[in-house]
């Protein structure tokens, strides 16, 4: 591949009327950042929020680029990890920002993975009734999914993502150069959302994953760029049609109902979000197959693809009642009925309510036997 292809930038528009914005995706994009900030008339005060790992790798360079262009940068670095996505961390960020004199014309730049995007996004949505937000995702998961769509928020002790808002960024800046330092486990997490996009909307993306999986797991450039762009296009399209999840957007929850309960069963410390989504997708595909919605052949393809993705967590350590218990707390469940997004073929899903606990239990048993065979 030629250098010009490496550095090519693509712009995907998220069409939301006045709140429309661009996702800029490519490689080696840092030299162009300042120009885009100027075009978008970003004010001179920037609050850069990042975590300690991303900060150690990218903070100095990012600050330097911004300061050289005349921006006043306040950097706030928090510890890494899902456990930071909570209200007390939100409070401490507010305090630092107030002390630093951050005002309504300031801009928050969220530099990091989905945790930073969700957390800093929530701070941006609420600080002085909302200040400008730029998403600069640095994980594969964030670059294919979480940085787009405006869902921001934090966890509550009683449930994941229970406190939040819809708050769209000014733009999303997805530079694949960041992925060079990503640990393999985080690449696996990104695959959780990528496989999801194939199943919910794009059979040819799924087929591409079947033939290029190992290359993508190694972050080979051309295949990674292709899937990144395709996922971003699909997410942009879905969000444009249903920003607040009144219907269509819920398809993005494939694998997430059981996925969230697996995350919760391990107290958010055992499984990472993307890993839980992969496992949840297997279990939910089993439900679909057992209900006669998903053809056996498509089911087998889904299980085979996900089984090729190494998840180094033994899910047998989870107790079934604990998983079932946290399913009941999931926000997508109504009082009486649970609700699942299930595949009807590769490339299409539908919502199904009221699945019996017995069937859910057997899907979890299937999951643990499917994983132990790999
Ligand atoms: N808002 C949404 O629509 C949406 C969608 C999907 C997931 N999410 C949320 O996203 C979160 C998961 O995001 P994630 O998987 O990006 O996790 P994360 O933000 O915790 O990042 C994973 C790890 O990778 C490190 N890291 C990040 N970028 C790096 C880089 N370039 N090089 C080296 N290390 C790097 C981080 O420090 C962290 O330790 C969950 O909280 C989930 O709920 C939100
Ligand atoms: Zn997700």
Provide the 3-class DSSP secondary structure of residue 324. helix
pLDDT value at position 3?
42
Rounded to whole angstroms, how far apart are CA atoms 11 and 359?
Answer: 43
Using CA atoms, how far apart are residues 241 and 10, in angstroms rounded to an integer? 21
Asked about 249 being catalytic, the answer comes back as yes
Integer-rounded Cα radius of gyration of the chain: 20
Based on the residue annotation, tell me whether 151 is a catalytic residue of this protein: yes
* CB neighbourhood size of 128 (10 A): 14
Pair of tokens at residue 324: 């079932």
Residue 235 is a catalytic residue: yes
**Mutation test of ligand 1: which of 23, 54, 148, 162 has the most ligand atoms closer than 8 Å to its C-beta?**
54
Distance CA 213, CA 190 (A): 12
> Looking at the predicted structure, is the pLDDT value of residue 249 above 70?
yes
Q: Which of 373, 213, 366, 354 is nearest to 289 (CA)?
A: 366
**Mean pLDDT, the chain, as a whole number?**
93
Among the listed residues 54, 62, 52, 56, the one whose alpha carbon sits nearest the alpha carbon of residue 29: 62
Q: Is the pLDDT of residue 26 over 50?
A: yes
Mean pLDDT of all residues in 193-208: 98
Share of the chain above pLDDT 90, in %: 83
Q: Is 129 a catalytic residue?
A: yes
Q: Is the pLDDT of residue 298 over 90?
A: yes
Structural tokens at position 257: 């109902």
Query: Who wins on pLDDT, 330 or 83?
Result: 83
Query: Ligand 1 pocket check: which of 27, 110, 118, 159 to mutate, most ligand atoms within 8 Å of Cβ?
Result: 118
The confidence score (pLDDT) of residue 312 equals 85
How far is residue 209's CA from residue 192's CA, in Å, rounded to a whole number? 12
Would you say the CB of residue 249 lies under 6 angstroms from ligand 1? Answer: no
Determine whether the shortest distance from the Cβ of 53 to ligand 1 is under 6 A.
yes
Q: Is 54 in the pocket of ligand 1 (CB under 6 A)?
A: yes
Torsion over CA: 324, 330, 332, 337 (sign): positive
The C-alpha atoms of residue 350 and residue 291 are separated, in whole angstroms, by: 12
* Contact (CB, 8 A) for 279 and 259: yes
Ligand 2: centre distance to CA 3 (Å): 32
Taking 50 as the threshold, does the pLDDT of residue 191 lie above it? yes
> Can 273 be counted among the known catalytic residues?
yes
Per-residue pLDDT for 373 more than 80? no
- Ligand 1 contact, 273 CB (< 6 A): yes
Instruction: Dump pLDDT digits (tens) for 278-293.
Output: 999 999 999 999 999 9
Question: What single DSSP character describes residue 318?
Answer: S
| pLDDT tier, 197 (very low <50, low <70, confident <90, very high otherwise) | very high
The single residue of 27, 230, 249, 289 carrying the catalytic annotation is: 249
Structure tokens at 360: 């859910």
Report which secondary-structure segment, H or E, holds 345: strand 339-345
pLDDT of residue 4: 44
* Farthest CA pair distance, the chain: 61
Give the helix ranges, DSSP H, for the chain: 3-7, 30-39, 52-68, 87-99, 114-126, 140-141, 184-201, 203-217, 221-241, 256-265, 273-290, 296-307, 320-329, 357-372
Whole-angstrom Cα distance, residue 121 to residue 134?
Answer: 8
Residue range 244-253: average pLDDT?
91
pLDDT above 90 (res 319): no
- Alpha-carbon distance of 291 to 161, in angstroms, equals 29
Check if the beta carbon of residue 16 is closer than 8 Å to that of residue 168. yes
Mean pLDDT of 179-204: 98
0.85 surpassed by pTM: yes
Q: Is 193 a catalytic residue?
A: yes
Establish whether 64 is a catalytic residue.
Answer: no
pLDDT surpassing 70 at residue 176: yes
Residue 334's SS3 state is coil
**Nearest to residue 62, comparing CAs of 173, 225, 187?**
173
Closest to 75 (Cα-Cα) out of 101, 98, 55: 55
Nearest residue (CA) to ligand 1, atom 14: 114
How close is the Cα of 353 to the center of ligand 1, in Å? 30
**Angle between helix 273-290 and 256-265 (nearest 10):** 130
Instruction: Give the range among 29-33, 61-65, 196-200, 205-209 with minimum mean pLDDT.
Output: 29-33
Q: What pLDDT shows up at residue 329? A: 62
Report the distance separating Cα 289 and Cα 151, nearest Å. 31
Q: How far is the CA of 254 from the centre of ligand 2 (A)?
A: 9
Instruction: Quick: pLDDT tens for 90-130.
Output: 999 999 999 999 999 999 999 999 999 999 999 999 999 99
Question: So what's the pLDDT on residue 2?
Answer: 41
């Amino acid at each position: 591949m030629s250098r010009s292809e490496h550095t090519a930038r693509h712009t995907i528009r998220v069409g939301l009327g006045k709140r429309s914005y661009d996702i800029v995706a490519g490689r080696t994009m840092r030299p162009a950042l300042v120009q885009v900030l100027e075009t978008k008339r970003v004010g001179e005060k920037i609050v850069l929020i990042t975590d300690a790992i991303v900060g150690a790798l990218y903070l100095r360079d990012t600050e330097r680029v911004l300061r050289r262009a005349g921006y006043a940068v306040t950097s706030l670095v928090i510890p890494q990890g899902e456990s930071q996505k909570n209200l007390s961390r939100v409070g401490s960020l507010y305090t630092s920002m107030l002390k630093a004199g951050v005002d309504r014309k300031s801009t928050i730049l969220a530099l990091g993975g989905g945790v930073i995007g969700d957390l800093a996004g929530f701070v941006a949505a609420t600080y002085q009734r909302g200040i400008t937000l730029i998403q600069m995702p640095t994980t594969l998961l964030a670059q294919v999914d979480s940085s787009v769509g405006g869902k921001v928020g934090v966890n509550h002790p009683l449930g994941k993502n229970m406190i939040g808002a819809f708050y769209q960024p000014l733009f999303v800046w997805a530079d694949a150069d960041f992925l060079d330092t990503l640990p393999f486990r985080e690449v696996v997490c990104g695959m959780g959302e990528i496989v999801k996009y194939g199943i919910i909307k794009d059979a040819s993306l799924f087929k591409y994953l079947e033939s290029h999986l190992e290359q993508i797991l190694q972050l080979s450039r051309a295949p990674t760029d292709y899937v990144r762009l395709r996922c971003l296009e699909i997410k942009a399209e879905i969000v444009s049609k249903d920003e607040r999840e009144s219907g269509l957007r819920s398809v993005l929850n494939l694998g997430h109902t059981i996925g969230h309960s697996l995350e919760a069963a391990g107290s958010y410390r055992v499984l990472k979000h993307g890993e839980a989504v992969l496992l949840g997708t297997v279990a939910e595909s089993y439900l679909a197959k057992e209900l006669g919605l998903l053809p056996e052949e498509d089911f087998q393809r889904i299980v085979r693809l996900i089984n090729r993705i190494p998840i180094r967590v033994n899910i047998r350590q989870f107790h079934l009642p604990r998983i079932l218990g946290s399913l009941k707390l999931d926000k997508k469940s109504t009082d009486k009925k649970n609700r699942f997004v299930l595949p009807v073929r590769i490339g299409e899903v539908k919502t199904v309510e009221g699945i019996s606990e017995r069937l859910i239990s057997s899907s979890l048993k299937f999951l643990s036997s499917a994983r132990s065979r790999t």
